[in-house]
Amino acid sequence: MRVLVAGAHGLVGQHVTRLLAEHDGHDAVGMVHEEAYRDDVEAYGAESVYGDVTDRDSIDDALAGCDALIFAAGSSGEDVWGVDRDGAINCVDACEELGVDRFVMLSSINADRPEESPVELREYLRAKAEADEYLRESELTYTILRPGSLTNEDGTGQIRTGRHLDREEATIPREDVAETLVTALDVERTYGLTFEVLSGETPIPAALSDPLA
């Protein structure tokens, strides 16, 4: 598949772009909203395109010829409604109208229960929850991944998944999140599912063979 990565220059998106570029079965297209980021994306072996999730026309242009989209964009708390919610909604709408059926969403643990999180995170989680619900109500073949707190440790390639995981030590390296997003593209058992993911002891492909177990 030719896969567009929204947020290709982000901390998770960079890993996603690199892994896609290394994948024999996929072509990576990294969408960036700053021209200065294009060289970094291309250094991973991906094609770079300009696109801003807040600008629908630019998303349409970036999606041309693509078969799937991985949404890994984020505002880092600066514009949760404009980027984390509406940016994702813009990408869903673009995929539907352009016939790009496969959509993998990077969400967040506790998006379904923001009241259990620190006050400063609740608005962000509500925005993610609304974006997730919009995707679920679409006609797209979706997967929604809700990781725990992200770390910059090296990935282990091992995770645990489920509908509601234990929140104690609820962390996962960004590299493992990226590998899970990329692996999920081709795993039919993840189609139409929303699930949580944390560091664990099961190799990523095996964990995705039954992500709600």
Give the single-character DSSP code of 55: -
Q: What are the tokens at 117? A: 């999180």
Q: Is 172 exposed, middle or buried (0-12, 13-18, 19+ CB in 10 A)?
A: buried
Active-site pick, 37, 124, 134, 142 = 124
95's enclosing H/E stretch is helix 86-98
Is there a catalytic annotation at residue 191? Answer: no
- Give me the active site residues, please: 124
